[in-house]
Amino acid sequence: MATVIFYEKPGCQGGTKQKTLLTAAGHQVIAYNLLTEPWTAERLRSFFGDRPVSEWFNRSAKRVKSGEIVPENLDAQTALMLMLKEPLLIRRPLMEVGDRREVGFEVEKIDAWIGLIPKDATLKDITEKLMHQDLQTCSHNSEHKHQPG
């Protein structure tokens, strides 16, 4: 099984569900606070691969939801500058296994990459239920307060 470096917003229910799926599949999850990580533009950029800039953003971030920031109108350099100043704009989670880095929690993609099949039959029902939920977006409205990290 894999060791997954997992950058999250602490207290986020979506992140908790994502980590549950990973650990049920036998992976070791090492979680870090995405909001306090000392990011550089180069390191942050490495998680986005060949995705368009619009897919780098947390669509639940207030400034994105309000239309103040329109990811489709930004170039990579501007997007990274904004994210370094305001990490809440970064799509979550950021994950790293070995030399590969990814952004977001697309169940099918992660299953093909490292596997999400539960290692214990008792976890099968929970895993199947979670795999059919939306694990990409925050389940709370913009007024929700996550635990401080």
Instruction: Check if the beta carbon of residue 33 is closer than 8 Å to that of residue 149.
Output: yes
Q: How far apart are CA 21 and CA 18, in angstroms?
A: 5
Q: 50-82: buried (b, 16+ CB within 10 Å) or exposed (e) per residue?
A: eeebeebbbebbeebeeeebebeebeeeebbeb
138 is catalytic: no
Of these residues, 12, 24, 29, 35, which one is catalytic?
A: 12
Could you say which DSSP state residue 49 is in?
A: T
CA 91 to each of CA 37, 99, 104, 121, 142: distance values in angstroms, whole numbers, following the listed order: 14, 20, 6, 32, 15
Catalytic annotation, residues: 12
